[in-house]
Structure formats: structure tokens, C-alpha cells
């Protein structure tokens, strides 16, 4: 683990790191579920990946995703978490896609 991950974070720093990691995790879910295919942003469709705010895409399309795909996506996001990630990052990347769908992160 990195030295910084072993240090204590201020509440503001924890929140900032968590929110940044949560945004990345949301984008990962959007890419795994290929929400870019129906995205309103041409840039996302052109890049074939999420390039905008992932939260509205999760809100709009998440309920159409089968349960087994949700479980596999969670496992994939957790596996992609760097081994030396700090605690706020690990915490955010362990959120299920349902949590991001239900919880208004940065909305």
C-alpha cells in the first residue's frame, strides 16, 4: 500500500477522493453495460465509451440490465481496483451499480 493510503484523511479530503473514485466507477459501469450505444452525446457514441456525466446514464438505463450482468460488472470493477488504492477509492469501487443508481452522487 502507498504511504498516503495509510495516512488519515480529513473528512473533506476523504469525500473528495471518494467522489472522484465513485465517478470513475460509475463510468466503468456505463462502459461495461455499453450505455454509450444509446447515449444522447455523440462524443460517447463516437468514442464507444462514456465521456460525459455517467450518473444520468445509470439513472436512465440501469433497470434494463439483467441481474447476472450487474453481478459480473461489480466483480469486474472490484478486480480492476489497484492493489495500492487508498481507502476512499477502494470504498467507492466496492459500491454496487444499484447503489449508484439509487444514490444521487454529485447530481
pLDDT (0 to 100) of residue 83? 93
C-alpha cell of residue 61 = 438505463
pLDDT (0 to 100) of residue 29? 95
CA distances from 63 to 21, 34, 54, 74, 90 (A): 23, 14, 15, 15, 25
Other CB atoms closer than 10 Å to residue 80's CB: what's the count? 12
The domain ranges of the chain are: 10-96
pTM: 0.85
pLDDT tens digits, 34-47: 999 998 889 999 99
* Dihedral sign from CA coordinates of 78, 79, 80, 84: positive
pLDDT tens digits, 60-103: 888 999 999 999 999 999 999 999 999 999 999 999 988 887 87
| pLDDT over 90, % of the chain | 65
Q: In whole angstroms, what is the distance from residue 1 CA to residue 82 CA? A: 10
Amino acid at each position: 500500500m502507498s504511504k498516503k493510503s495509510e495516512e488519515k484523511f480529513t473528512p473533506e479530503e476523504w469525500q473528495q477522493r471518494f467522489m472522484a473514485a465513485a465517478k470513475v466507477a460509475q463510468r466503468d459501469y456505463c462502459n461495461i453495460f455499453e450505455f454509450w450505444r444509446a447515449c444522447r452525446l455523440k462524443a460517447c457514441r463516437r468514442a464507444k465509451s462514456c465521456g460525459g456525466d455517467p450518473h444520468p446514464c445509470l439513472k436512465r438505463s440501469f433497470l434494463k440490465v439483467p441481474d447476472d450482468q450487474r453481478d459480473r460488472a461489480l466483480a469486474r470493477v472490484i478486480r480492476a481496483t489497484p492493489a495500492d488504492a487508498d481507502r476512499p477509492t477502494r470504498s467507492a469501487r466496492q459500491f454496487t451499480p444499484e447503489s449508484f443508481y439509487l444514490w444521487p452522487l454529485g447530481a
